[in-house]
Amino acid sequence: MDASKVAYIVIHCADTPPEMDIGAVEIDRWHKANGWDGCGYHFVIRRNGVIESGRPLDINAAPGWQSAIGAHVAGLNSQALGVCLVGGKGGTPDFRVQQWESLAHLVETLTRIAPAAEIVGHRDLDKGKLCPGFDVRTWWADWRQHGAD
């Protein structure tokens, strides 16, 4: 997938309880157990705000950047980059300050390489989902207007 084909940057949550700190390795294992090729997200943001790589995203590929197609939003994976916040059990956004800051900086970076992409939550594209437990469009608009205030 190249930047011109990215229509969405989709924010997810791992649906894990607040005391559970996992990362891309654990999600990779879970997704492989489901029969997938591995972690379905391109990025995972741990509780401490560390951003880990899931599916490959190569912004240095010639002639433009390329990424592996994700496995995170049915029917739209070939048009979407996936970001997963650890937490959010039952649709409750229990994310830490470091995660919010990392999410904002990651989305800012991704919008520079895929400027036409719409920033959405999984629930915006799949009405059967609560994930990530907050209105991503409103969060992104607020962040763009106010930053880390």
State what percent of residues in the chain have pLDDT above 90: 62
Query: Which stretches of the chain are assigned E, i.e. beta strand?
Result: 8-13, 43-45, 51-53, 57-58, 66-67, 80-85, 118-121
CA gap 148, 110 in Å, rounded: 18
Marked catalytic residue, from 13, 39, 84, 131: 131
- pLDDT tens per residue, range 105-123: 999 999 998 899 999 999 9
Active site residue 12: yes
State mean pLDDT over 4-9: 88
Q: Where are the alpha helices (DSSP H) in 22-135?
A: 24-33, 97-113, 122-125
Point out the catalytic residue in the list 31, 42, 72, 129.
129
Whole-number pLDDT of residue 91: 87
Q: What pLDDT, on the 0 to 100 scale, is given for residue 66?
A: 55
Residues 18-74: pLDDT tens digits? 999 999 999 999 988 988 888 899 999 999 999 999 988 765 554 455 567 777 888
Among 124, 8, 11, 106, residue whose Cα is nearest residue 49: 106
- Distance of alpha carbon 122 from alpha carbon 124, whole angstroms: 5
Q: Where are the domains of the chain?
A: 3-144
Residue 131 a catalytic site member: yes
Candidate list 13, 31, 41, 42, residue with the active-site label: 41
User: What pLDDT, on the 0 to 100 scale, is given for residue 60?
Assistant: 52
Q: pLDDT tens digits for 58-102? A: 655 544 555 677 778 888 888 999 999 999 999 899 999 999 999
Active-site choice (8, 12, 31, 42): 12
Looking at domain 3-144, which CATH architecture does it have? 3-Layer(aba) Sandwich (3.40)
pLDDT of residue 61: 52
- CA distance linking residue 35 with residue 37, whole number of Å: 7
Question: Residue 117 gets which letter from DSSP?
Answer: P
Q: Can you give the pLDDT at residue 55?
A: 86
Asked about 122 being catalytic, the answer comes back as yes
